[in-house]
Amino acid sequence: MSTLSDRVTWFGMPVALTLAIHLVVAGLLMVRWANPVTIEARTSTPVAIKATLVSADTLKAQPKPKPKPKPKPKPKPKPKPKPTTEPLPVAVTPQQKVEPEVPLEVAKPERTPEQLSQETLSDIESALASEQLTQKGSTGTVSDQVAAVIKQAVIGRWTRPPSARNNMVAVLEIALVPTGDVVGVTVLESSGNVAFDSSAVNAVEKVARFSEVKSLERAVFERDFRRFQLIFRPEDLRY
C-alpha cells in the first residue's frame, strides 16, 4: 500500500462522504419548502359588476350625502338578497352566510326600471356562473370544490376600492390551519395599487374562517390548503 493511495483512502473518502451527507440534507431542506396550490379568483366577479352599478347609480340618483362609503359594503352580499332572484339562492353555494343586508334592500326600490332589469340580468348571469361553478366543483375533486367555495367566500366579501381597474391582478398567499381559520394573508405579487392589494387582503381577513376546510381530509388539507395562493383578478368591472 503506497502512501498516496493511503492518503486518498484516509482523507479523500471521509471528505467525500461528509460533503455528500451535508449536501443531501441541505438539498432536502431546500426542496421541501415550496409549491403552494394556486386558486384563481377570476371567474366569479359578477359581484363586482353589481358593486359598480350600485355605486355609480346611487352617486347620481340618490340624494344620500355619502353615497360612496355606503354602497361599498353592500356589494358584499352575494346575488341572494336580490328580490328578483327568488329561486337563485338555491343555486348559489350555501356557504354564503352573508344573508340579505338591509341597506341594499332599501336602496333598490329607488332605482329606475331599466336599471333594475339590467341588474336582474347580471343577477341571472352571476347565478348561472355560480351554478356552473358548483356543478364543476361537484364533478371535480374535493379540493376543487373547496377551492371554489373559498373563491366565492373571498369575492363575496370583497369591497372594491375606487381605484380598482379591470386589469389589476394581485396574488395573495393564504395560510390556513386545519380548522379553516386564516392565520396569514400576504401579498405575494402586488397589483401595483396599494388600495387594491389591501382590499383583497381585507376580503380574506373578513372571511376569517373557511369552515369547509374543516371537513377536508387531513392529507388533502396539508397538500392543498395549508398554504395556497389566491390570484385576485376582477375582470368584469365596468368602470
Q: Name the residues that contact other proteins, by CB under 8 A.
A: 1-3, 9-10, 13-15, 17-19, 21-22, 25, 29-30, 33-34, 36, 173, 175, 183-184, 186, 188, 227
Cell 352617486, residue located? 59
Q: Which three cell numbers stand for residue 132?
A: 356552473
Shortest Cβ distance from residue 103 to other proteins (Å)?
Answer: 31
Instruction: State in angstroms the smallest separation of the CB of 118 from other proteins.
Output: 41
Q: Are 91 and 134 in contact (CB under 8 A)?
A: yes
Instruction: Give the nearer residue to other proteins in terms of CB position, either 190 or 193.
Output: 190
Q: How far is the CB of 44 from other proteins (least distance, A)?
A: 24
* Per-residue buried b or exposed e for 183-197, using 16+ beta carbons within 10 Å of the residue's own CB: eebebeeebeeeebb
Nearer to other proteins, 29 or 102 (CB): 29
Question: Quick one: 125 or 173, whose CB is closer to other proteins?
Answer: 173
> What is the strand order of the sheet 227-232 is part of?
37-41, 227-232, 170-176, 182-189
Rounded to the nearest 10 degrees, the angle between the axes of helix 142-156 and helix 113-139 is 160
Q: Which is nearer to other proteins, 19 or 128 (CB)?
A: 19
- Cβ of residue 25: shortest distance to other proteins, in angstroms? 7
Q: Which is nearer to other proteins, 140 or 192 (CB)?
A: 192
- List the end-to-end C-alpha distance of the chain, in Å, as a whole number: 85
Rounded least distance, CB 18 to other proteins, Å? 4
Distance between CA 145 and CA 215 in Å, rounded? 12
